[in-house]
Structure 1
């Protein structure tokens, strides 16, 4: 039995796809009597994590649903905002008290 030397295995194809990346794009339009009722735009990117980061597609790192790091950043920002609100409220109370004294 002879095997072709240039036939690619599924592993080779998958490795190439993940290394280079593949973009699949399409639009689905539903219309009735030349009136467009619905348009769905589909964009699919298949790539390795490293390739996606290289392309600037690293949204999962800042999405709190996918990343504990993003959650920590949000909690830190929330803490800083709460501290700032407390400072502003104290300043406002001080100004109101000074205004009542006059």
Structure 2
């Protein structure tokens, strides 16, 4: 680069560095888009043995994909997990109804004992 016809030291390198950064960002975005579109699976096992005795096995499975791609593959566990979805409200409502039902059953049981005790 020049300033008034004179080259400015380091400016050409800075401009090239910025262009490289933009190109790397674009490439990273393209790669991420492809991975999310196609999906990628990483699988591995960790085993700890002592004298041919298996002490610990950890199986690791990692799937990276977009939500749409995961649904295409039949993976939708997050939709049914009450801690990750709005299904938690359903669980809370069900919990409330069950508590009411238990309360009513306990009341019936208590009332039944009172009637039996009064007759005897």
- Shorter-chain TM-score bucket reads 0.7 to 0.9
Question: 1:1-102 residue pairs with structure 2 within 5 A?
Answer: 9-67=27-85, 69-102=86-119
Give how far 1:34 is off: 2.3
The answer to which structure has the higher helix fraction is 2
Partner SS state of residue 75, structure 2: coil
Structure 1 residues not aligned, in runs of 5+: 1-8
TM-score where L is the length of structure 1: 0.73
Question: Aligned-residue CA RMSD in angstroms?
Answer: 2.0
Give aligned pairs, total.
Answer: 93
- Give the CA deviation at 1:88: 0.6
Q: Distance in 1 between matches of 2:106 and 2:59?
A: 47
Q: TM-score, normalised by structure 2?
A: 0.64
Once the two structures are superposed, residues 50-85 of structure 1 have per-residue CA deviations (whole angstroms, 9 ceiling, x without a partner) of: 222333333333334333x12211210111111111
Q: Which runs of 5+ in 2 are unaligned?
A: 1-26
Moved over 4 A (4+): none
Larger Rg: 2
